[in-house]
Structure 1
Amino acid sequence: MSKLYRKCLSVVMAGVLTAGVLAGCGDSSQTAGSTDKSAKPSDASAAAAKEPLKLQFLVPSYADVPNMNDEYWTEWQKRTNTQLNVEWVPSGDYDTKFDLVLASGNLPEIIVSTNITRPTLLQAINQGAFWDLTPFLGDFSKYPNMKNNAGPNVWNFMKLNGKIYGLPRNRPQIDLGIKMRKDWLDKLNLPVPTTIDEYAADMKNIVDSDVDGNGKKDTVGLIGHGFLLADGDETFSGAFGGLDPVYDKDGGLMRNYLTPNYTEMVSWFRKLYADGILAKEFSSMKKTQAEEMYATGRAASYVRNIWRDYSWEQENKKTQPDAKVITLPPLKGPGGVTVSLANPTFGAFYISKKVPEAKVKQILDYFEKTTTPEYTDFNYYGIEGVHHKVVDGQPMLTDLGVKQVTTNANQVFSLAFNNKMKVLNPSAPKAYNDAKLKEVEVYGQVGKLNPFSIINSSTWTSVWPKYEKEWQAMVTKAIVGQITMDEYKSYVDKLNENPDLKKAYKEFAESYKQYFGK
């Protein structure tokens, strides 16, 4: 039987980061697993005879901070023979905390970066903050699990200047989708859209109607969180060819959001905003605010993980019994479809250079031991009879499982790659999950990976922070109508003629060849 499973500060000034890093270098519900969740890893009894390995982590938190002494975490530490000291940082604050920790030089033993091209991370690597793991890993003969259970091409993506510094956080490539309230479409006799124009028309009908029956026309259309729509940016940009490499006249690979394709998407969002479809607070909405809005039936559409469909449908049913949340099929646009394949690694784990060499090997042994389907299955469903029960051949979480086996459970190890883990919901019936898998199977066939989630440029890393906030402000102004699209285009054209950015484009082109070939 196949194994299935789940998921779930501006740049620090270079001088401060350098000083801090060098000072520190002196020394539920998010994936799906297989149906056999009760089997323990074969080496659990042998590990029990050894002293627990103490590990210190800094990781993002996507749920309530867990009690490390509860049933799930007690069993995890028992099976892995570890004693985990984890600092959980709310995901919305994590980038700020990450940058500050790097600047301070007070690094934990193991730190997560959720973006392998984050400028502060690349600076820290180049300044010697983290171990070069290349000589430890070698040909992976000692680490077959990390090699064989990694996502496609992941270890190549882990390289910087030919060396491996990070350990992948394996995640599926089929992950995000555009959510839509199917019951509202049905109420207005609207078909499920197949193009972005049909989608916009359907959304216009929804926001102009009292679809929730509260006597007001106050339903919000499309919501997001962060800039621009955060998870939704790459999804929609795919429809405009925004996931394809675009080169300038000098052969440089243009950063994706400074391409004509992205500008075309900005123009489309401008129309959505003018039509009352795009949330007025799109530029300032927080993730928790957006999630609460969607779970309580105040918004029609939101781009998030596919597995959330069932959970949000159940939440909406509490006040709107006929609620039905679906992930839309790929919507056609002028340059592609609305499917962005996720990077097969959601950032990476990095080991501080302060960690002694002997312990680096122990840490690698921990990741080797746990990068298996068995540990990933346990990570998803916990203990049979405690966190889940088997119903119709599929494990389903108990109330305690929903409480303890959250997205945070997968923040301290790599997971074993499986492309279905962000589709299946462990609280949903088997028939629902089977149908959902079939619905989104096409995503893997038509979706594209944003190459800028992999490639990098040292010049871009050092230069772009000078312009990023200004550019974001110009995007927002263009969408809300404070400047014309011609003014926005002129601004982008000026950026693209910047000598430093043109140099960065050359570096992006070379990096693209390294990771993807021609």
Structure 2
Amino acid sequence: MLTFAATAACSNQAGTEPANGANNGTGAAAKEADKAISIKMFAGLYNEAPNMSDDYWTEWQKRTNSKLNVEWVPSGDLNTKLDLLLASGDLPEVVAVPDFKRATLLSAVKNGAFWDLTPFLGDLSKYPNMKNNLVQDAFKYRTVDGKIYSLPGSRSRVDAGIKIRKDWLDQLKIPVPTTLDEYAAALKKIIEADIDGNGKKDTLGLIGHGVIVNDGDASFAAGFGASQPTYDADGGLMYTNLNPQYTEMVAWFQKLYQDGILSKEFAVMKTTQAEELFQTGRAASYPRSIWWDKQWETTMEKSGQKNPQIINLTLKGPKATAIDLSIGGGGGFFISKKVPEAKVWQLLDYFEKSASESITDFAYYGLEGVHHTVVDGQKVLNEKGIKEVNTTSKGVGVLTYQKWGKVISASGSKAYNDAKIKEVANFDEIGQVDPFRFLISDSWINVWSKYEKEWKSMVTKAIVGQITMDEYKQFVDKINALPETKQAYQEFAKHYKSYLGK
């Protein structure tokens, strides 16, 4: 159905190139250059729904010469809504996604739902901001059959951290954990203590949402070596979630669940629930983006918690360090093939503006005197800034690469942010990038669309003890033995060798 709908939605061939003589800033585009471009966009909502007439959005649209009409979709519903959108074929002009290689999205790409931007971008000489201000290999990562269909949401390679309440460790005289085993032992001690003094031992250990703990899955997997390229007997590159190291991690989580360390509600917990539990002092550990630390500490203080301190751990696992790195632009902006060619040029102009250093600085700090003040040379968000300048507000433009963009807090002082950078200074060197953040296989799209939902269910069943680990392994082995899986693994290996230039 997805294939049919995506194909029906398109009035032109996916590989159609710009007409001869069409270029950025000429013809109709030049005549319209002084007018604000109206953009209909699908994008993720990670905070409260924004007021598009507030000071931040008014200024964003002024600086980018745009008028935005955004369908904001709550992050927890984003993938479901995206799949429905793709199935309907009724696409807005721009589709902004957190994962540019989601299977349903790639199917739509291959069936002509979006413009091939390769001939528009060329050598990027017309787009110096996107050429010079993005993470290295930003466009190389996202090619599909050698073509570029999306623009990167360029952010930080250092992003997620496995957080723990340092003040609670100190209170119980527990050393900061340096290994995954020490981490589990520390959480066990915390949940067995009456840490909040309410007379009950009701503190949760590790919380999260998603398959296991969502933002932290990849970090823990890295510690078990699951992010390292792993090949089957035929030389095929195995998918991370189905390699032996990932299965070892599932067994470790099963032990955490049995010991009461992993929250009993991990499989059904929503993002908002997890955030509330952590901020209200109900949980000891929660893996999320590092830049939340200051904001959450402030909320903790307002709720009466004394001197809360959140730190992000460097934990050695059985095979590597439990630190997952982003590719510095995992999300993407796709332009619907329904958009006329002339407007594609205008949209690219808009995204080129958003990739400037000045627009990016505005995206992080807003207006001086309105959203932030400068203290000791550091821009610090005020209460209005915290409300209007956030994750959601960064989701409609490419933005420049910020090494510490997901580490420093816009509401933190210079001293606080300097200390936070020092805390994770070596993450970029010792962490790992899972190659499946960018590898693509046509065969795998079909395989995973059939088995992903069942795999998620089997992971949960294994962790909570509804099935044995042997039964889980048998399920994984069954998928890995399928001829179409083996074919996909060969395709992954070929793509990876091509990426490495070998």
Q: TM-score range by the shorter chain?
A: over 0.9
Which residue does the alignment assign to 1:21?
A: 6
Q: What's the offset of the Cα at 1:398? A: 1.8
User: What percent of counterpart residues are identical?
Assistant: 56
Which residue does the alignment assign to 1:6?
A: none
CA distance in 1, matches of 2:336, 2:163: 40
Q: Does structure 1 residue 53 correspond to structure 2 residue 37?
A: yes
CA distance in 1, matches of 2:500, 2:336: 29
- Residues 179 and 325, structure 1, Cα contact 8 Å, conserved in 2: no
Which residue does the alignment assign to 1:137?
A: 121
CA change 1:64–1:159 in 2 (3 A) is: same
CA change 1:295–1:430 in 2 (3 A) is: same
From 281, 284, 307, the equivalent of 1:297 is 281
Provide the TM-score with structure 2 as the length reference: 0.94
- Which 10-residue stretch deviates more, 483-492 or 193-202? 483-492
Q: What's the offset of the Cα at 1:318? A: 2.7
Q: What's the offset of the Cα at 1:477? A: 1.5
Q: What's the offset of the Cα at 1:135? A: 0.8
Q: Relative contact order: is structure 1 or structure 2 higher (C-alpha 8 Å, sep ≥ 6)? A: 1
Which residue does the alignment assign to 1:102?
A: 86
Q: Does structure 1 residue 246 correspond to structure 2 residue 208?
A: no
From 92, 101, 118, the equivalent of 2:76 is 92
SS at match of 1:449: coil
The residue type paired with residue 20 of structure 1 is A
1:135-284 to 2 correspondences below 5 Å: 135-284=119-268
CA distance in 2, matches of 1:455, 1:514: 10
Which residue does the alignment assign to 2:25?
A: none
CA change 1:228–1:517 in 2 (3 A) is: farther
CA change 1:323–1:493 in 2 (3 A) is: farther
Which residue does the alignment assign to 1:41?
A: none
Which residue does the alignment assign to 2:401?
A: 417
The residue type paired with residue 24 of structure 1 is A
From 484, 493, 498, the equivalent of 2:468 is 484
SS at match of 2:214: coil
CA distance in 2, matches of 1:70, 1:47: 29
Which residue does the alignment assign to 1:463?
A: 447
CA distance in 2, matches of 1:324, 1:228: 26
Which residue does the alignment assign to 1:77?
A: 61
CA distance in 2, matches of 1:489, 1:80: 52
The residue type paired with residue 23 of structure 1 is A
CA change 1:499–1:21 in 2 (3 A) is: same
SS at match of 1:341: coil
- Residues 6 and 108, structure 2, Cα contact 8 Å, conserved in 1: yes
Which residue does the alignment assign to 2:362?
A: 378
CA distance in 2, matches of 1:320, 1:190: 23
The residue type paired with residue 265 of structure 1 is M
CA distance in 2, matches of 1:54, 1:474: 45
Question: Would you identify which runs of 4 or more consecutive aligned residues in structure 1 move more than 4 Å?
Answer: 46-49
Which residue does the alignment assign to 1:342?
A: 326
CA change 1:321–1:228 in 2 (3 A) is: closer
Alignment RMSD (CA, Å): 1.6
CA distance in 1, matches of 2:281, 2:365: 28
CA distance in 2, matches of 1:381, 1:318: 23
Q: What's the offset of the Cα at 1:48? A: 12
Q: What's the offset of the Cα at 1:454? A: 0.4
Q: What's the offset of the Cα at 1:22? A: 2.0
Q: CA-to-partner distance for each residue in 1:407-430, whole Å, 9 max, x for gaps?
A: 111111101001110010011111
Q: What's the offset of the Cα at 1:49? A: 8.8
From 91, 103, 106, the equivalent of 1:122 is 106
Which residue does the alignment assign to 1:493?
A: 477
Q: Does structure 1 residue 326 correspond to structure 2 residue 335?
A: no
Q: CA-to-partner distance for each residue in 1:384-426, whole Å, 9 max, x for gaps?
A: 1111111121111122111211211111110100111001001
CA distance in 2, matches of 1:219, 1:197: 20
Q: What's the offset of the Cα at 1:47? A: 12
CA distance in 2, matches of 1:119, 1:261: 23
- Residues 132 and 163, structure 1, Cα contact 8 Å, conserved in 2: yes
Provide the TM-score with structure 1 as the length reference: 0.91
Q: What's the offset of the Cα at 1:353? A: 0.7
Q: CA-to-partner distance for each residue in 1:432-455, whole Å, 9 max, x for gaps?
A: 101111110110110010111100
SS at match of 1:156: helix
Which residue does the alignment assign to 1:11?
A: none
- Residues 192 and 328, structure 1, Cα contact 8 Å, conserved in 2: no
SS at match of 2:263: coil
CA distance in 2, matches of 1:273, 1:158: 37
CA change 1:514–1:116 in 2 (3 A) is: farther
Which residue does the alignment assign to 1:437?
A: 421
- Residues 47 and 80, structure 1, Cα contact 8 Å, conserved in 2: no
Q: What's the offset of the Cα at 1:68? A: 1.0
Which residue does the alignment assign to 2:19?
A: none
SS at match of 1:448: coil
- Which 10-residue stretch deviates more, 380-389 or 214-223? 380-389
CA distance in 2, matches of 1:291, 1:428: 19
- Residues 157 and 454, structure 1, Cα contact 8 Å, conserved in 2: yes
Paired residues, number = 485
Q: What's the offset of the Cα at 1:320? A: 4.3
Which residue does the alignment assign to 1:7?
A: none
Which residue does the alignment assign to 2:26?
A: none
Q: What's the offset of the Cα at 1:190? A: 0.4
The residue type paired with residue 499 of structure 1 is P
Q: What's the offset of the Cα at 1:490? A: 2.1
SS at match of 2:363: helix
CA distance in 1, matches of 2:307, 2:55: 34
SS at match of 1:307: helix
CA distance in 2, matches of 1:328, 1:174: 12
SS at match of 2:105: helix
Q: What's the offset of the Cα at 1:323? A: 4.1
CA distance in 2, matches of 1:63, 1:472: 27
Q: What's the offset of the Cα at 1:327? A: 2.7
- Residues 195 and 332, structure 1, Cα contact 8 Å, conserved in 2: yes
Which residue does the alignment assign to 1:505?
A: 489
Q: CA-to-partner distance for each residue in 1:183-234, whole Å, 9 max, x for gaps?
A: 1111111000001111111011011111111110000000011112111111
CA distance in 1, matches of 2:384, 2:444: 47
CA distance in 2, matches of 1:515, 1:404: 39
